[in-house]
Amino acid sequence: MQRTISYDRQNESLIFGDTERVYRDVGFTLHVAELTSIKATDFRTALASGLPDGEEVYVVEGDYDEFDYEYSPPGPVSFLEHQGRLLVRVQVVTKAHEDDDEGSPDPLYRSALRPFLTRHRATLQNIEMVGSQVTSPWVWEFDIECSLRLRTVEDLYEIGRGAIALLDAFASGHLTRETTLDLLRAGHADVLVGQPEGPWLDVKSCHYDLDSTQGKISIAQSVSRFANAEHGGIVVVGMKGKKVPGGELIHSIHPVPVDGRTLRRYQSALENHLYPPPDLLDIECCATDGKGILFLHVPPQPEELKPFLVHGAVVDGQVEGAFISIVRRRGEGSIPITAPAIHSTLAAGRALLRRGQIPE
């Protein structure tokens, strides 16, 4: 079977498809759009065939025709073959120095990356601060080894890009739903302090009262808000919010009691009061000595499952067990799904059934 990329020793070039890429001053370069057709195993073989151990292949992210080998910096993700292994190297600029008074940030970076890399079948091989700057910011390099099985070079590139996003979030506090989840899993909830609640993030300082029907309805409504929204979301239990002009900020960490029954009690409340069950809903906690933070992650849901219904409602402070409530997230609050929207959904479904078209 023909390889998707190879090294031509005679011309000292990389060949893939109809393209021949020669070595230039900066080294070998590939454009990000070219990575999708190259198998990771073929790429490792090509680099091992001709490049010196540790020689980097850089990825250009902008307009390749405008790229200048002498003056244009390549992107922050590169590849290298080292002792038979293909590594993804990423660079992150931070204010952290390896000789900081509080200690080297190396262990924190490793801890922050571990859940993300484990989920993507990858491991962190090396961290090193590089460059000769005497003042911040400083550049750190991270070498990541990924499983190559059934992967393209684009897949490895995306893992590198994800690692950069997570490390940038860790350093600067700029967060997405995905990086927030990884930080929570890594035990770095403190990075969220000072961040605003919003369309995909909601925090609670105390547990929902799962001994009462009202508390069970409340957690079901909190999850359904994100399940009915476009981008999903995360409910964090164990952090305090603070109202400020224009919204609410996460003010502090407020660990809650966690034991062997806690996650199951949340799961049971949702099973009994939320329908249908959201796809790939995660209920996790990060605890030490019986206290910690619990979080519920609601990925974006298929449109055909919506709307998610909550069995029960709280009206004027009273629990109405026979009622059905439907809510979704908007900004930092929630809004009810209107009667016309519900009716149109039901009418569309009935029309399909009348024509004998039953959705899967």
pLDDT for 169 beyond 80: yes
Domain end, chosen from 172, 204, 221, is at 172
Mean pLDDT of 72-100: 89
Mean pLDDT of 268-272: 95
User: What's the CA gap between 112 and 94, in Å, rounded?
Assistant: 15
SS3 of residue 19 by DSSP: strand
pLDDT for 346 beyond 70: no
Could you say which DSSP state residue 52 is in? P
Q: Is residue 117 very low, low, confident or very high in pLDDT (cuts 50, 70, 90)?
A: very high
Structural domain includes residue 67: yes
Return the CATH number at 202. Answer: 3.30.950
Query: Taking the C-alpha atoms of 60, 61, 65 and 67 in order, what is their torsion angle to the nearest 10 degrees?
Result: -50
User: What's the CA gap between 211 and 355, in Å, rounded?
Assistant: 46
Look at residue 198 in the predicted model and tell me its pLDDT: 83
Structural domain includes residue 185: no
**pLDDT, tens digit (0-9, with 9 covering 90-100), for 4-49:** 999 999 999 999 999 999 988 778 999 999 999 999 999 999 999 9
Statement to judge: residues 107 and 204 lie in one domain = no
Decide which of 248 and 325 is more confident. Answer: 248
**Contact yes or no for 161/180 (Cβ under 8 A):** no
User: What's the CA gap between 315 and 308, in Å, rounded?
Assistant: 19
Cα R_g (the chain), whole angstroms: 25
Please state, for a pLDDT cut of 90, what percent of the chain lies above it: 57
Mean pLDDT of 192-198: 86
Q: Is 214 exposed, middle or buried (0-12, 13-18, 19+ CB in 10 A)?
A: middle
Overall number of domains in the chain: 2
**Contact yes or no for 234/177 (Cβ under 8 A):** yes
Structure tokens at 264: 């199951």
Mean pLDDT of 299-318: 84
Look at residue 155 in the predicted model and tell me its pLDDT: 97
**Contact yes or no for 48/41 (Cβ under 8 A):** no
**Contact yes or no for 249/241 (Cβ under 8 A):** yes
Statement to judge: residues 324 and 241 lie in one domain = yes
User: What's the CA gap between 44 and 6, in Å, rounded?
Assistant: 9
Element (H, E) at 194: none
Please state, for a pLDDT cut of 70, what percent of the chain lies above it: 89
Range of the domain at 24: 6-172
Look at residue 27 in the predicted model and tell me its pLDDT: 86
* Torsion sign over Cα 279, 267, 177, 166: negative
Look at residue 102 in the predicted model and tell me its pLDDT: 64
Look at residue 316 in the predicted model and tell me its pLDDT: 67
Decide which of 245 and 233 is more confident. Answer: 233
Look at residue 148 in the predicted model and tell me its pLDDT: 97
Statement to judge: residues 204 and 329 lie in one domain = yes
Mean pLDDT of 282-292: 93
Statement to judge: residues 56 and 142 lie in one domain = yes
Q: Is 82 exposed, middle or buried (0-12, 13-18, 19+ CB in 10 A)?
A: middle
Statement to judge: residues 95 and 155 lie in one domain = yes
pLDDT for 151 beyond 80: yes
Q: How many CB atoms lie within 10 A of CB 39?
A: 17
Look at residue 339 in the predicted model and tell me its pLDDT: 56
Statement to judge: residues 229 and 104 lie in one domain = no
Look at residue 105 in the predicted model and tell me its pLDDT: 77
Burial 323-360 (b: 16+ CB within 10 A, else e): eebbbbbeebebeebeeeeeeeeeeeeeeeeeeeeeee
Q: Is residue 133 very low, low, confident or very high in pLDDT (cuts 50, 70, 90)?
A: confident
User: What's the CA gap between 67 and 85, in Å, rounded?
Assistant: 29
How far is Cα of residue 102 from the mean position of the Cα atoms in its chain? 28
Decide which of 352 and 303 is more confident. Answer: 303
Mean pLDDT score of the chain: 87
Look at residue 332 in the predicted model and tell me its pLDDT: 45
pLDDT for 63 beyond 60: yes
Structural domain includes residue 256: yes
Structural domain includes residue 57: yes
pLDDT for 298 beyond 90: yes
pTM confidence score: 0.76
Statement to judge: residues 207 and 273 lie in one domain = yes
Look at residue 344 in the predicted model and tell me its pLDDT: 66
Statement to judge: residues 110 and 224 lie in one domain = no
